[in-house]
Chains A and B, each alone.
Chain A
Amino acid sequence: MSEHEHHEHYPHEHGHHPQAPSDVEARALALESLLIEKGILTSEQVDEIIRTFEQDIGPMLGARVVARAWVDPDFRKRLIEDANAAVGELGLSTTNLARLSVVANEPGVHNMIVCTLCSCYPWMVLGLPPTWYKSPPYRSRAVREPRVVLEEFGVNIPEDVEIRVWDSSSDLRYMVLPERPSGTEAMAEAELAELVTRDSMIGVGLPRVPAARS
């Protein structure tokens, strides 16, 4: 799809970011200064939060959860029953108001997640959401034509597979547990985690297929 086509549809929430109007940046900096001046935040706290989102939280956390579920059926069961407690076992933080809810793909069932009303996302295990997830095209279409949306991501789900879309309208934050790819029986947990992509945990992708071994 060309840039031109996209502009006709939706000029601003672009795949890459438009240039920020300078007054937005100025407003953000002014608000930060005022809150620091009033003792509500410190600049160290601001920097630490930004650093955490940029470096510590991301899809590698969710990938660890998925890989553990692939190798440990008891963990998988606990994960589906009480995801907050299960991810806590892996030392991941669950100090968040929202509750994680894991939905498992299985033969004949494919799950995908969306938030049509805003941008709810299991960021505690996947990091902050990509721009497309927060954009009007995905939010409007994922619930109405999930199969067309999946094709745009290069995922073709056969007609005889049921697609379950989860619209994250409450305090529950959904994450997809993808199916373990075949041919991975000999792989260790850490190797398996390398196969788990962010998109496979949103449900718009599938795990990587392992490279053939000599």
Chain B
Amino acid sequence: MAIQPDIDSVVVNGVHDMGGMHGFGPIVIETDEPVFHAQWEGKVRAIFSGTVGRYYNLDEFRHVIERMEPTAYLEAVYYERWLHAVETLLDEKGVLASGSAPAPQAPPKRPSNFPAPKFKAGDRARARNLHPEGHIRLPRYVRGKSGVVTSVKGPFLLPDANAHGNHDVWEYVYPVRFAARELWGADASARDSVSVDLWESYLEAVR
């Protein structure tokens, strides 16, 4: 069965964003699981390792998978999604066309002069309620929720830009701790929390 074509529009609220969903059932644990279940899976993993960062980046790769039609995403085995993404990107980037392949991309260069981070450990912050068209690494289950910044990391490339042709936008990333009750309501544990790494532009200060 071939994978269904991508949805025409770019998609952000896709089925890949699974945190908090119901209905997938119990976790099935395979004992003595091999690294690869078939030879072709290892080949797909190797093709990815040999081409990512040269002809496409990880955010572009993720976004192709996110663009898959939701039922096709769920029906595909893991490395089938990867194969779909690698085929699509190598085709889109002209690597598979006849003639010589395009030159590999230069690795991203982190800027040396970078403004100070907007948040510091201990600050309260709210995840913005963003639903842009395109790639984003802001899970639905934290949008609009408030938490506490626990550290400052990066700067890292902004996935939203890096997946869409702009490979030079860097932002600090903050692990933000959300109380389980803030995310899931009064039935959740009063002690537990979920920490999510959020780029600076995903956050607003809570006064």
Question: Interface of A with B (CB < 8 Å)?
Answer: 1, 5-6, 8-10, 12-18, 20-21, 23-25, 27-29, 31-32, 34-35, 38-41, 45-47, 49-50, 53-54, 97, 99, 101, 114, 116-119, 127-128, 130-132, 134-141, 143-144, 146-147, 149, 152-153, 159-172
Contacts and interface: CB of A to CB of B under 8 A. Distances in A.
Interface in B19-35: 19-30, 33, 35
Given A35-B47, A171-B156, A163 B28 contact: no
Given A20-B77, A169-B137, A144 B20 contact: yes
Interface in B54-94: 58, 62, 65, 74-78, 80, 83, 86-87, 90
Nearest 7 CB-CB pairs, A to B? Answer: A9-B25, A116-B19, A170-B197, A17-B37, A15-B28, A49-B46, A50-B42
Contacts of A162: 191-193
B18 interface: yes
Contacts, number: 240
B103 to A, nearest CB: 12
B175 A136 contact: no
Contacts of B138: 169
B40 A165 contact: no
A116 B19 CA distance: 5
B89 to A, nearest CB: 11
14 contacts: A5-B25, A15-B30, A29-B43, A38-B101, A46-B43, A117-B19, A127-B35, A147-B189, A162-B191, A163-B193, A165-B193, A165-B194, A167-B194, A169-B198
A132 B195 contact: no
B38 interface: yes
Given A24-B83, A50-B46, A54-B35, A164 B192 contact: yes
A46 B138 CA distance: 34
**Of B1, B175, B192, most A-chain CB atoms within 10 Å:** B192
Given A16-B30, A132-B29, 11 more contacts: A14-B28, A25-B38, A27-B87, A31-B87, A31-B90, A41-B50, A117-B137, A132-B28, A135-B27, A147-B192, A165-B192
Given A6-B28, A172-B175, A144 B40 contact: no
B26 A6 contact: yes
